[in-house]
A and B are shown apart, each in its own frame.
Chain A
Amino acid sequence: MREVSFGQYYPSSSFVHKCDPRAKILFLIVYIVAIFLAQNFYALGACAAVFAVITIFSGVPFKSLLRSVKAILFLLLFTAVLNLFFYQGGTTLVQWGFIRIAKEAIYATIFLAVRLSLLVLGSSILTLTTTPVSLTDGIESLLSPLKWIRFPVHELALIMSIALRFIPILTDETSRIMNAQKARGADFETGSLLQRVKAIVPILIPLLISAFRRADELGDAMDARCYSGSKVRTKYKKLTFTWRDVLLFIVCIGLLTGVILLKIYTVALI
């Protein structure tokens, strides 16, 4: 049987892996805010430094991280080109027909690219060091105050958990059905767009039927195990903050104040 490696999780027991998922999610939020607040390279540099430290403590090889940048490489290049050529104003460096490259444009392009890369890299660190399951737990816990406004936090978490459980099962099933139809001569790779869309039908129908059947059986199994969504429900898994998380918070606050300070005194620095 094929082992399905789901998500990007990189198994390890590093400092970052052991942090509470809530702390990591909160950290990511602050980190993203800091990146957006950063107006110059000094502030961005601070973010990058924090990111570098976290990466070192996460034990994730740089290669795995680069993979996430690769995924947005096109977007990165596209925005860079737009920025470079369509920057208005500034001092002209090169003028070639209607194409004009300004000194400020180069600065802005590099700035944007670094900013986007840092954003994506930061989020990847979260998904690389946190299993989907603990991410779900973290999100549920962070959202739990919303219960007061009758937001179905528990149901949402259960849906996420079931989805995580069934994604590998259904992926397996999809490849099994695809293989079966391929063995009967179905062709998914060549032909016109219309033909390819048509070729999906023999996969989609069995897959849907199977998904409904599974849902039906799962519903029965949950009922049989006393699921009623009632208020008596307790929770086994408890997340606890440790000294690691406190440390993460300190770094977090440090970063934010740093960036804000740099924003205020930026004029003086340049």
Chain B
Amino acid sequence: MEAVKFENVRFAYKDGGEESDVFSSETAFALSGVNFSVEEGEFVAVLGHNGSGKSTLARLTNGLLTPSEGKITVMGLNACEEENLFEIRKQVGIVFQNPDNQMVASIVEDDIAFGPENIGIPREEIGERIAFALNAVGMSEFRFSTPSRLSGGQKQRIAIAGVLALKPRIMILDESTAMLDPKGRKEVMDVVVKLNREEKITVILITHFPEEAMLANRAIVMSRGSIVMQGTPQEVLFRAEELEKYSLTLPKSVKICRELTKNGLPVEDGLTADAAAENILRAIQKMDTETVENVKTTWAGTRLMEDCERNTVKQDEEQGRIYCENLTHVYNPSSPFATYALNGVDLEIRSGDFFGIIGHTGSGKSTFVQHLNALLKVPCAEKKYKEKKLKKGELPNKKPVLRVNGYDLTDKTTDFKELRSKVGMVFQYPEYQLFAETVFEDVAFGLKNFGNAFSEEETRFAVKEALKTVGLDYDSIARKSPFELSGGQKRRVAIAGVIVTKPEILVLDEPAAGLDPLGKEEIMRLLHNIHKDWCKTVVVVSHDMDEIAENCTRAAVFSEGKILAVDTPRKLFEQSQRLFNVGLDVPLTAKIVERLKEQGVAIECDYTTADFVEKTLCYAKTIGAGTRSTKKGGAKNA
């Protein structure tokens, strides 16, 4: 039976308003004649750029919106009729993007009970349903916890449990993983796949991530309110040119395979690290003299991270340097909630680094970063600080050292305001901090605060430069309200508002969070531009190992308030087990290298895609030239 059926559905937002999607487009949007159906028990992925109408699709399915034209049938019920809505909402559960904004209670079990209470389930049965739902998402031990103490992935699993307690037959995930870190994303996707396989729940998964869409039985691509591609995930996700047309990207592993093929090593597309590794191996083994000729290696084209580091890093320069020893920070000291966020951190970030900070939520990385521009101060830099008298026999604590850009942050007399103009800080989701009436005023906010010495002309020039650096056109945007802009543009404006004071050091907390893959690439490119000719040192906090591998010269791993390792990505990701131990991951390229190594193919690279492709081609070429037969045997034996 068809679980969901759309027949010629059209939809227009009446007030010309926006989709309530966080990163919605600025245009009033309409679905224009959508036809599609989902079979019971199916797992369908819906892909599409921001504002393509995919969220509208979700809201229409359970009657949060009603179509302007056409017919929607859900589990045999007409969704256009008001009296069916209650029944339809029982059958169709939606999990939204922001886990915080879909919980009503401060205790997990109370929140899950909310749905069943609404449909009048007797008390005893609600208890059973809570147990069932929590078990299904693997969160039984958190029944009496408070949502605000859970991680993003855990919260989102609770949100799924809240929907499951209604025993729906269809579950829609409306970009439910967009705000999560890779670990949380995996947790949620594991649960979704399990629900589809074991509970036979029909799943409609709305997502930006091609990696997630691969788990589905069927993938649908939407663009400008209509369905433009349909088929198995393989059929859809391999069509690079078409995907590009609809502002979507290939999965990273496929991109690597394509890149190798383009340079003369014909590798079949692999959707996972394992598949890609296998296909590369097979391609290398299949090579004959003719294909070897075709393999192109171009040393000149590769941007080696370590070379890049050599060019920019200046060992002893104080400008742009961050140095700390013994940094410790306790939240809620001397109370039952006291927690050590930082516990003796020693770290040096050199001038010119593009530095990555990796770690879980709660590992202390945000706390660390806030020390860099004195938003959090070392206790002895506080105005009220008094040296504690030591009790007899008590050893004095080691004094912390914190020098940023030449300023001593353990000294009360440091000019912290001046420091802040030299150390720019971009917080997570910076677009949520915009406030002014025009983009110009918002960007100029920092300039006005830091120095009154700027003339109007100078201010205008600085704002213009900053907007240009983030890839926005001053003339067309400066007079607009920041709230009229699209999500991506807002984020750029927010970054411009920080770099406008020309800081020496720029710190960004998850600059790419919540963006689609294309948006992520753009932001990272932007940061490289800023690093090249704007700020000496860039520090990026990230959960995304691929992001770190592709962009950073060096990185530090935080775990439980301490530093686990500081090194180049190349050395860091070699010790994969150490990262796994603290629940972190390695980039896709490192996974492929690992698999290849198991098969006797040793490729040494710095784990950027470019370098990996280059080194793999080199490897293929050397093997092809002469010693091919013996090496091939060696690879097989291993």
Which A residues contact B (CB, under 8 angstroms)? Answer: 1-5, 10-11, 132-133, 158, 161-162, 164-165, 168-169, 173, 176-177, 179-187, 201-203, 205-206, 209-210, 213-214, 216-218, 220-228, 230, 232-238
User: Complex formed: what's the CA distance from A4 to B150 in Å?
Assistant: 12
With contact pairs A133-B105, A187-B449, A206-B435 given, residues A233 and B117 touching in the complex (Cβ less than 8 Å): yes
Instruction: Give the residues in chain B near A10, CB-CB below 8 Å.
Output: 336
| Further contacts, 6 of them, CB under 8 A, given A3-B332, A5-B332 | A5-B337, A161-B105, A165-B103, A183-B373, A217-B102, A224-B96
Nearest B residue to A61 by beta-carbon distance? B336
Q: Assuming A3-B339, A206-B432, A216-B20, is B449 touching A236 (CB within 8 A)? A: no
Place the interface of chain B in its size category.
Answer: 35 or more
Q: CA–CA, A203 to B22, complex, Å?
A: 20
Question: What are some 23 contacts across the A-B interface (CB < 8 A)?
Answer: A1-B361, A3-B332, A3-B337, A4-B148, A165-B104, A176-B427, A183-B373, A183-B498, A184-B420, A184-B445, A185-B450, A185-B501, A202-B435, A217-B20, A217-B96, A221-B96, A222-B104, A224-B64, A224-B163, A225-B89, A225-B163, A227-B114, A230-B118
| Cβ-based interface call for B424 (8 A) | yes
Choose the segment among B122-130, B181-189, B253-261, B396-404 that binds chain A (4+ C-beta atoms closer than 8 Å): B122-130
Q: Which residues of A contact B48 (CB under 8 A)?
A: none
B104 touches A161 (CB 8 A): yes
B266: Cβ under 8 A from any A Cβ:
no
Cα–Cα, bound, A43→B325 (Å): 61
What are the residues of chain B within 8 A of A173 when measuring CB–CB? 432
Nearest-neighbour CB distance to chain B for A197, whole angstroms, equals 15
The answer to whether A221 and B105 have CB atoms under 8 Å apart is no
Residue of B nearest to A162 (CB): B104
B3 contacts chain A at the CB level, 8 A cutoff: no
A187 partner residues in chain B, CB cutoff 8 A: 417, 449
* Interchain CA distance A161-B211 in the complex, whole Å: 38
A147 CB, min distance to chain B CBs, angstroms: 16
B115 interfacial by beta-carbon distance below 8 Å: yes
CA distance A238 to B331 in the complex (A): 36
B430: Cβ under 8 A from any A Cβ: yes
B residues near A233, Cβ cutoff 8 Å? 117-118, 120
Known: A185-B421, A186-B449. A217 touches B435 (CB 8 A): no
Query: A234 → chain B, closest Cβ, in Å?
Result: 5
CB of A144 to closest CB in B, whole Å:
15
> What 1/0 flags go to B347-373 for Cβ under 8 Å of A?
000000000000001100010001001
Nearest 10 A/B pairs, CB to CB: A185-B449, A232-B120, A221-B102, A236-B113, A183-B425, A217-B101, A205-B435, A184-B446, A225-B115, A226-B118
How far apart are the CA atoms of A2 and B149 in the complex, in Å?
9
The answer to whether A183 and B375 touch across the interface, beta carbons within 8 angstroms, is yes
Q: Does B604 make an interface contact (CB < 8 A)?
A: no
Kindly list chain A residues whose C-beta atoms are within 8 Å of the C-beta of B361: 1
